[in-house]
Structure 1
Amino acid sequence: MAICAYVTFEDPEGGDDERDLALSAWREAGIDGRVERWDDPAVDWSAYDAVVVRSVWDYILRREEFLAWTRRVESVTRLLNPSPVLETNTDKTYLRELGVPTVPTHWSSEGLPDWPEYVVKPAISAGARDTTRTADRDKARALAAALEADGRTPMVQPYLDMVESEGETSLLYFNGRFSHAVRRLPMLAPGMTYDDNARAQLRTPAPDQVDLAEKVLTAVPQPLLYARIDLVRLPGGEPAVIEVELTEPYLFLRYEPRAAANLATALRELL
């Protein structure tokens, strides 16, 4: 039986509600999954057939330490997703190099475009941390400047009303194969309450969304155990990438009955 590490972080709140579902599916696929903290110095990573990065949600506070850990692990065993992928993906400046339609982004506090509303966030972030929506151009400029003063790269984007009507569509792929897609509810809409049971809904992606997501995936040369491609529609109706989640994405395993088994099958294939 293959032995794989399911890598998380020290989370006193136990926020990873996908862990048990994933590990159960791994067992059914003949994989012994063991939970490990990425920063636990006592772990012998070479004892694992593969090390699977999952809920490492504190990496944004310790990115360089986390990336050094990925390189150490990859020197002794298989890391999924691979270290070069994680290094690129943990800084959202990768969006500048995708070569596909993305949400318009201004990368400086200077010369902000004249948009009705702005979303300001740092290039290294997760879960809408340090993200602000504002209609005040001066406030958006000040927020971006504060990020720069802190040594962080700002991302300034227009707020897209389509997010509230169309929603964000997340397409999930395991070992390059489509598993399922969900419509994610807007996190920055006025009065939005985040009911976990209604955080997303299964949806069938449109052909143009599938084409765009798969164009992004084919540009990644390394094998990916998991990939989540987050898309929105621009005012003209065309799909655009808002984010490519290859590090520690929520996989919405509870929303599709076959999703956990799809993930386990993909891991078995890569082993």
Structure 2
Amino acid sequence: MTTTRIALATCNFHPDLAEDDQHLLRALRKLGVEAVPAVWDDAEVDWSAFDLVVVRSVWDWSQQRDAFLAWARTVPNLLNRAAILAWNTDKAYLRELDAAGMPTIPTIWLTPEQKLSSRAVHTRMPAHGDFVIKPTVSRGARDTGRYQAGEATSRGTAIRRTVQLLKDGREVMIQRYLTSVDTAGEAALVYIDGAFSHAVRKGAMLQGQFRGAAGLYKQESMSLREVSAAERELADRAVAFAQARLEESHPGEGLLYARVDLVEGDDGAPLVLELEVVEPTLFLAFREGAADGLAQAILARLA
């Protein structure tokens, strides 16, 4: 009898997987699967030896996106698929959601090709309140900062930071900081095999200006939470949109996992902050049976 072998792709910073994904590892092993962590850019790994490769704790991809996507394209049994990873690793996908009628945070998009001067960058920043600067390719608040429009030192730092990102060839997003993040937090809705599973409340991550990238992510405070009908409806639409994008390259195939992060707008209505189908933390420990459900969904792909 042949044993099913599944690799959970991870990175050098978490060779044994992040804590959340260790729940999935144990759930797969309980089902009799030979499940192992494997570092995605380890040249010694024979990916063809696995029945499936599931993308999980690959939290360094944003530092080497091209190499990561090149690797993903070489793994034919990868979940989620390389095509949807390529789409989702650039936050420009938010423009598609917005164009499709899903409310997102209003964003100013800057590109290196515009060759903007410091003054031109200054004129594009909000005149009042706090705002956020982030590159379109990043994860876990890496290279992201929160600034104060009316405070000269903070605004000056924001301008210099934006100019540097553009000089480095990176596209930049400028968004007004929503104060609801400090009060209500973010709602992270987790989907497994296309179906809503559970949601958590994520506390604020951006407490000040960019100070360099120490590690791969910033710590978050989380707790299980209920979701409103409006939140669920918006998240369902976002996941369905990603599903449709996946089916363009893989007809009939569903997303194994997804997470939609929502925030409240000024009117209290939900806005899409992010839709993540690459390597989102799925908060498996927050709902009993979530890890088991994901493990069973993985095995169902082999049926």
Q: Structure 1 length as normaliser, TM-score?
A: 0.91
The equivalent of 2:133 in structure 1 is 120
**Residue 246 of structure 1: CA displacement?**
0.8
The equivalent of 1:62 in structure 2 is 64
**Residue 263 of structure 1: CA displacement?**
1.2
Q: Deviations over 1:156-188 (max 9, x none)?
A: 111111111111000000110111100001112
For residue 159 of structure 1, the aligned residue among 177, 195, 201 is 177
**5+ residue gaps in structure 2?**
111-120, 150-154, 209-216, 247-253
Q: Check the 8 A contact 1:118/1:140 in 2, yes or no.
A: no
- Structure 1: how far apart are the matches of 2:17 and 2:291? 18
After the TM superposition, which residues 167-246 of structure 1 pair with which residues of structure 2 at under 5 Å, given as runs?
167-189=185-207, 199-219=221-241, 220-221=243-244, 222=246, 223-246=254-277
The equivalent of 2:7 in structure 1 is 5
- Structure 1: how far apart are the matches of 2:218 and 2:105? 26
Give the paired residue count: 264
Q: Deviations over 1:2-23 (max 9, x none)?
A: 2111100112696711232111
**Residue 252 of structure 1: CA displacement?**
0.9
Q: CA RMSD in A?
A: 2.0
**Residue 141 of structure 1: CA displacement?**
3.1
**Residue 241 of structure 1: CA displacement?**
0.5
1:32 aligns with 2:59: no
Q: Structure 2 length as normaliser, TM-score?
A: 0.82
Letter in 2 for 1:173: Y
Higher CA-based Rg: 2
The equivalent of 2:84 in structure 1 is 85
Distance change in 2, residues 1:189/1:60 (3 Å): same
- Structure 2: how far apart are the matches of 1:70 and 1:269? 21
- Structure 2: how far apart are the matches of 1:32 and 1:13? 17
Runs of 4+ in structure 1 displaced over 4 angstroms? 12-15
* Partner SS, residue 91 of structure 1: coil
The equivalent of 2:107 in structure 1 is 105
Q: Check the 8 A contact 1:3/1:49 in 2, yes or no.
A: yes
- Structure 1: how far apart are the matches of 2:96 and 2:156? 29
The equivalent of 1:44 in structure 2 is 46
- Structure 2: how far apart are the matches of 1:264 and 1:14? 17
